[in-house]
Structure 1
């Protein structure tokens, strides 16, 4: 792992870089170059998913990097069309094939889709993969407190991570509290709100005070509150900028001012969009 990036210890003892690189909405043809730039910049955690359609591009970048596999932390996710026990097991094998890897560090249930009733069964498949030593850690994404309660009651393994949309405009406090109560690490997707919060006065004031960009300030806000964060970019200069956030610290007043930016600033789909 990159010594510059702090690590979070998951509830099964596995250590995960606190800052990683996301590839949501990056076309496969552009993914290899983006991930290669991220690895060269020092990122060692890469987050992808089956539905992104770019696992193969991630795999090419990893193979071309020459980095030892044990220095990387790779996450992918099972999509809603592969819910169910057997389907999820097959989806894991297919993800490994596309990535060209022998194992994943973290495998997530991408959405709960409660109306289908299959997410507890899907979770059991991930528990099986974990019990068999085929994946280092398992978790969920976009799970609300009720969904966490359901699998905690039915399952044997508590999710290591819950990856949710979280940024200053949408802080998802109830989900974060449910995660903390169960020892689940909160991982923020869309951590920069697709740029929607970068012009807020609280962010710009802190950026000016520290000689940093607005994006760096928001990423630092996440990190100082103990979350894992996975910013995305295809621009090498932005990729390098987003990892350069470990040489300053926001004050308590600056953190509080950014906390105060909360509104329903959702930038992605709501979990209810995938109820079927």
Structure 2
């Protein structure tokens, strides 16, 4: 079983650097996928209210026999539930679906700047954290201005910002802000939904190490210090995505991947998505 290194978050919590994502996995398929991931050695599972599969995750966790203290479970607050009271109620609903008394990380899924409720919403997350029902709180898809305002108005630095990040969209300015303020960078869509796997540089690096292009890209993320949450429902690929600790990219190979940045978004723009 692969041993995944931890990233220490800014509140002292330890989060596995490589986890398992379940975005776009139907609830009735989620239990088997998460069970396969846990059997392979994953201990971090990332879901969200919007994914509609929190119950499937909860079933897999309950059936796995893995002690709860060995797991790191993340879920996220959906856009319909911004605002203090709605956020608290939504968190309660997520816990109920997961069948848990706490999660390890709770995130605001999108900032929705036009609605201007993310600061108020974050204060609700602070209360949830203070009550011990999550070990850490953070955000997802927040840009630098959103983060700066959140920190200025609440005084609480998010532990994590989960953002779209892959060789085609490297978010250097945002990652620099994270580093300056002690925010862990977590990459969703780390493989750009497969869009970067045929890039010549990626293929060449993979061949040099005898690995797949996906493994080469995941290794690039890890060496940058990113937390990554690749998704698959295929047991062989689930295991393959975890097998990225037996090789290392050279500085020249890291530079080659850095040259692939072209502002390629596979998801919405956080500044305009509402």
Q: Normalised by the size of structure 2, how large is the TM-score?
A: 0.98
Q: Normalised by the size of structure 1, how large is the TM-score?
A: 0.98
- The equivalent of 2:49 in structure 1 is 50
**Structure 1 unaligned spans of 5+:** none
Secondary structure (helix, strand or coil) at the match of 2:114 reads helix
- The equivalent of 1:134 in structure 2 is 133
Q: State the shift of 1:272 in Å.
A: 3.4
Distance (whole Å) between structure 2 residues aligned to residue 181 and residue 241 of structure 1: 33
Superimposed CA distance per residue, residues 132-186 of structure 1 (whole angstroms, 9 cap, x where no aligned partner): 2221000000000000011101113210000000000001112111111110000
Secondary structure (helix, strand or coil) at the match of 1:87 reads helix
Distance (whole Å) between structure 2 residues aligned to residue 222 and residue 28 of structure 1: 28
Equivalent runs, 1:246-265 vs 2, <5 Å = 246-265=245-264
- The equivalent of 1:73 in structure 2 is 72
Superimposed CA distance per residue, residues 249-276 of structure 1 (whole angstroms, 9 cap, x where no aligned partner): 000000000010011211112213423x
Is the contact between residue 127 and residue 156 of structure 1 (CA under 8 Å) also seen in structure 2?
no
Distance (whole Å) between structure 1 residues aligned to residue 67 and residue 156 of structure 2: 29
Secondary structure (helix, strand or coil) at the match of 1:8 reads strand
RMSD: 1.0
Secondary structure (helix, strand or coil) at the match of 1:75 reads strand
Give aligned pairs, total. Answer: 274
Q: State the shift of 1:241 in Å.
A: 0.3
- The equivalent of 2:61 in structure 1 is 62
- The equivalent of 2:208 in structure 1 is 209
**Structure 2 unaligned spans of 5+:** none
Equivalent runs, 1:229-248 vs 2, <5 Å = 229-248=228-247
Is the contact between residue 78 and residue 108 of structure 1 (CA under 8 Å) also seen in structure 2?
yes
Superimposed CA distance per residue, residues 205-264 of structure 1 (whole angstroms, 9 cap, x where no aligned partner): 111111100000000000001010000001111100000000000000000000100112
Superposed structure 1 runs of 4+ greater than 6 Å apart: none
Secondary structure (helix, strand or coil) at the match of 2:76 reads strand
Distance (whole Å) between structure 2 residues aligned to residue 38 and residue 258 of structure 1: 27
